[in-house]
Structure 1
Amino acid sequence: MKNIVLFGPPGAGKGTQAERLKEKYGLVHISTGDVFRYNIKNATELGTLAKSFMDKGNLVPDEVTIKMLNAEVEKHPNAAGFIFDGFPRTDAQAKALDELLESKDTQVSGMVALEVDDEILVQRLLERGKSSGRPDDANETVIRDRIKVYYKQTAPLKNYYQAQDKYYGVDGEGSIDEITDRLSAEFDKL
């Protein structure tokens, strides 16, 4: 089973690339952002709770995120593997993911990180905001705050996977096809 953590700041292209790579490798794509939006749209108890944090630009607490993630994994008992997009974001979440996967006799194969310059991230998100309808993509101040939160709270997770020799950085700039090719080269090694 191939389980990949697709990592990078907001606007790095994780969702776009995950959609391409899930087809190529036959993996299930679990985007915590999509899972949150589904739960929020359907006004589930966890969704309402998650929304209260997301509206402020904060990370959703681990307990809430892990419960949502576990429910998604459980929906795919025969999966060949997963691409986790937007999760884990903290060492505690990474440990919880390890425990979840171990309970299914598997593990994280690697963290593949898209590395993109901050100014490119801002422009990508502002552009996405024009069509996505997401208020967090339409305001440059909110975008820059999200990027700061990523560097402060999420980027240190890189060390967790480096310590296990499971971290792979990939240049996330250029055309979508070029980035897919670079990511595929790393996925093929895992």
Structure 2
Amino acid sequence: MRLLFMGPQASGKGTQAKIISKKLEIPHISTGDLLRNVEGELKEEIDSYMNQGMLYPDEGMIRILKERFKEDDTDNGFILDGFPRNLKQAEMLDEITEIDKVVEIHVDEERTIQRILNRLNCPNCGALFNAVKHKPKVENICDDCGSGLIKRKDDTEEAIRKRLEIYERDTKPVLEHYKGRVVRVDGGIGIKNVTEAILEKLKV
């Protein structure tokens, strides 16, 4: 089953993608992780964009995904997380693979804002923690790799609201594009309940 997980920042889609990928025994393909883990000349190219605060071009991302989808572990499907973010990207994705189901994890705006305001990021491995509900074992240290955790400078309430507006604007056409294949889950009911709801809606 080729799945696409969508949801605003802090909706828990990354967490759920990891859990569901283990249950279904298909890989979780996070575009953020793919970009962080590339090597060689391509890494230098990607870093040059990241260091300027620019997004890596869609065409480059499609090339990376196309190569990733060729790997044997995707034979029975995958969970894609982080792409597409807009209609143009969805149409480009159609050219290299077919998506069977889209899991939209919905969280109300105020809950999302609080989650992001309390969020701690690992700049090294990309792990996320919450200063209130999902604290690291050692204060401000990543459980996974031991690096120092940071709070993003742009995680202010005003900036978060703006990002959520952009997400709503860009995502609606994507969900319309996948009409008939979208299942919607409430992301505010606790990790275990969200997992169960996703599995039930996917009928697996």
- Does TM, scored on the shorter chain, surpass 0.5? yes
- CA distance in structure 1 between the partners assigned to 2:168 and 2:60 by the alignment: 22
Shift of 1:119: 1.1
The match for 1:146 among 163, 167, 173 is 163
Coordinate RMSD, CA, aligned: 2.6
What does residue 113 of structure 1 align with?
104
Q: Cα–Cα, structure 1 residues 39 and 143, in superposed 2: closer, same or farther, change >3 Å?
A: farther
Q: Does 1:88 align with 2:84?
A: yes
What does residue 173 of structure 1 align with?
188
- CA distance in structure 2 between the partners assigned to 1:93 and 1:109 by the alignment: 17
Q: Name the structure where helix makes up a greater proportion of residues.
A: 1
- CA distance in structure 1 between the partners assigned to 2:153 and 2:171 by the alignment: 18
- CA distance in structure 1 between the partners assigned to 2:67 and 2:156 by the alignment: 32
Contact 1:30 1:85 in 2 (8 A): yes
TM-score (norm 1): 0.80
- CA distance in structure 2 between the partners assigned to 1:78 and 1:91 by the alignment: 24
Which range moved further: 8-17 or 29-38? 29-38
TM-score (norm 2): 0.75
Contact 1:36 1:50 in 2 (8 A): no
The letter of the residue matching 1:61 is P
Q: Does 1:125 align with 2:119?
A: no
Q: Cα–Cα, structure 1 residues 100 and 43, in superposed 2: closer, same or farther, change >3 Å?
A: closer
Contact 1:7 1:113 in 2 (8 A): yes
Residue ranges of structure 2 left out of the alignment (5+ in a row): 121-130, 132-139, 141-148
Shift of 1:170: 1.1
Q: Cα–Cα, structure 1 residues 133 and 71, in superposed 2: closer, same or farther, change >3 Å?
A: farther
Q: Cα–Cα, structure 1 residues 49 and 186, in superposed 2: closer, same or farther, change >3 Å?
A: farther
**Computing the radius of gyration over CA atoms, which structure comes out larger, 1 or 2?**
2
- CA distance in structure 2 between the partners assigned to 1:126 and 1:43 by the alignment: 33
What does residue 146 of structure 2 align with?
none
Residue ranges of structure 1 left out of the alignment (5+ in a row): 102-106
Which range moved further: 42-51 or 119-128? 42-51
Q: Secondary structure at the match of 1:114?
A: strand
What does residue 35 of structure 1 align with?
34
Percent of residue pairs bearing the same amino acid type: 33
- CA distance in structure 2 between the partners assigned to 1:180 and 1:94 by the alignment: 25
Q: Does 1:24 align with 2:23?
A: yes
Runs of 4+ in 1 over 6 A off after TM superposition: none
